[in-house]
Amino acid sequence: MSEQFSSQLEKYLPPPVLALIKIAGKQASESGRELYIVGGVVRDLFLGRANFDFDLVVEGDAIALARKIARDSQAKLTVHSRFGTSKLNYPGFSIDLATARSETYSRPGALPNVKPGSLKDDLIRRDFTINAMALNLNPQHFGELIDLYRGREDLERRLIRILHPKSFIDDTTRILRAIRYEQRLGFKLEVETEKLLHRDIGMMGTISGDRLRHELELILKEDEPERVLRRAEELGVLRQLHPSLTGNSWMAKTYAKARQVGKRTTLTTIYPCLLVYNMSEKENEEFIARLNFPKNLARVMRQTLQLRQEIHELENPKLELSNIYRLLRGYSTAAIQTNAIAVHSSVASQHLNLYLNKLRYVKTLLNGQDLIKMGIPAGPKVGGILNALQKARLDGKVRTRKDEEGLVHKGIPL
Ligand code: ATP
Ligand code: MG
């Protein structure tokens, strides 16, 4: 007799999601199909952690079932027929519905060959025991747990365990996933899993740059990515991404500092820049190429190192504000933020922050049109005067519009 978790499910799921899932279970049942909620959401239900990834799996045609549910519940439906997956979109949340599938790997590092299968097939292709549980959603069996790999026990014992000894060979990105869950949940790698991780670590060379980067992005989305980085270094995994990467206490300190100053969206840029902050340009280029970072991010990573090399110029406490502006105007905000977080010199850091908080917003009161009205001929001279006016403003030499006009009439030195 399998264990029953209907009341837990009813408490855990937000009411509108629960209502829809009940409709879905009923629909599946009427078509003679079994429907399950699977993966991370089941794990997090048992852990009492929030999770808004509602992943459903049906033994049979998921798209046909999704169409029926969408019709009955006014969902907007997105369909990927090639993968047999669909997404039911509702205001404020969405539910993924996939056909149970079996996966086989033609060679290490390759993407799997996929075909429809049973729930059992669908569970054995998963990464860890704690992610391989399912709860039945059909009305007659609502809340029944399918736990073929003792995921519940591993949750109790706080262990990350792969499902079979070839797991890391089938998909070596699981090495990074294992560390990510271990650190997120405060779990431990199960002994045999850790041994296999060491055995298969060299296979990380077979993973494409895009897949590696995707896993790194997931790590950097964690609440405290530095924990994952530190552990990845300890296990010799970080080296596999690039030999010069470290997850040491400096990294931990700067990551924590980045969270205090940065918004969540800017962290996705600042974290990778901190990661390469102590690299040489050559190492940075190798890392960018290996993980195939998108152009924009690669540009900011390069700028971060360029600015680091010029940072001594910002260490002079007597620097005029217009000079700080001139030194920094060409750099992206994230490159400056990264340096402000990482630089040793407190004077340099203050100057960087002054630029970020104030100087970069300083604007002249007169604009180009005003200058032309004042008799300056349209052309390059206008830009030159505006620059000079801005310099004067930054250095506190003009305050009012009258001051600026006065300077223009006097003929400012350009
Ligand atoms: P998170 O809270 O990080 O989203 P999750 O468990 O929901 O955790 P997802 O990345 O959303 O993780 O993936 C959903 C499910 O798909 C996982 O629970 C796992 O069962 C399975 N899965 C994802 N990636 C892999 C992989 N590389 N190998 C095997 N199974 C995987
Ligand atoms: Mg998820």
Residue 26 tokens read as: 């009923």
Task: Report CA(374)–ligand 1 centroid distance (Å).
Answer: 65
Determine the pLDDT at residue 107. Answer: 79
**Amino acid type, 392:** A
Among the listed residues 168, 167, 171, 149, the one whose alpha carbon sits nearest the alpha carbon of residue 159? 149
What's the CA gap between 137 and 144, in Å, rounded?
8
pLDDT band at 331 (very low <50, low <70, confident <90, very high): very high
Q: pLDDT per residue over 259-302, tens digit each?
A: 998 777 899 999 999 999 999 999 999 999 999 999 999 999 99
Task: Report, as an integer, the average pLDDT of 324-341.
Answer: 96
Task: Report, as an integer, the average pLDDT of 391-412.
Answer: 90
Give the three-state DSSP class for 180: helix
Residue 173: CB atoms within 10 Å: 18
Determine the pLDDT at residue 125. Answer: 94
Confidence check: pLDDT of 129 > 60? yes
Determine the pLDDT at residue 413. Answer: 61
Determine the pLDDT at residue 110. Answer: 75
Among the listed residues 323, 336, 333, the one whose alpha carbon sits nearest the alpha carbon of residue 394? 323
- Rounded to 10 degrees, the C-alpha dihedral 44/136/78/18 comes to -70
User: pTM of the prediction?
Assistant: 0.92
What's the CA gap between 226 and 252, in Å, rounded?
5
| Residues with a CB atom less than 6 Å from ligand 1 | 39-40, 51, 53, 55, 126-127, 131-132, 171, 173-174, 177
What's the CA gap between 147 and 153, in Å, rounded?
10
Pocket test for ligand 1, best of 131, 170, 208 (most atoms within 8 A of CB): 131
Determine the pLDDT at residue 414. Answer: 54
What's the CA gap between 228 and 244, in Å, rounded?
17
Q: pLDDT per residue over 136-185, tens digit each?
A: 999 999 999 999 999 999 999 999 999 999 999 999 999 999 999 999 99
Task: Return the bridge partners of 36, or none.
Answer: 57, 136
Task: Report, as an integer, the average pLDDT of 65-81.
Answer: 92
Residue 366 CA: distances (Å) to CA of 378, 381, 400: 15, 14, 10
The protein residue with its alpha carbon nearest to ligand 1, atom 25, reads 127
Task: Report CA(40)–ligand 2 centroid distance (Å).
Answer: 6
Determine the pLDDT at residue 261. Answer: 86
Determine the pLDDT at residue 1. Answer: 57
Average pLDDT of the chain, as a whole number: 94
Give the three-state DSSP class for 35: strand
The protein residue with its alpha carbon nearest to ligand 1, atom 18, reads 39
Residue 94: CB atoms within 10 Å: 16
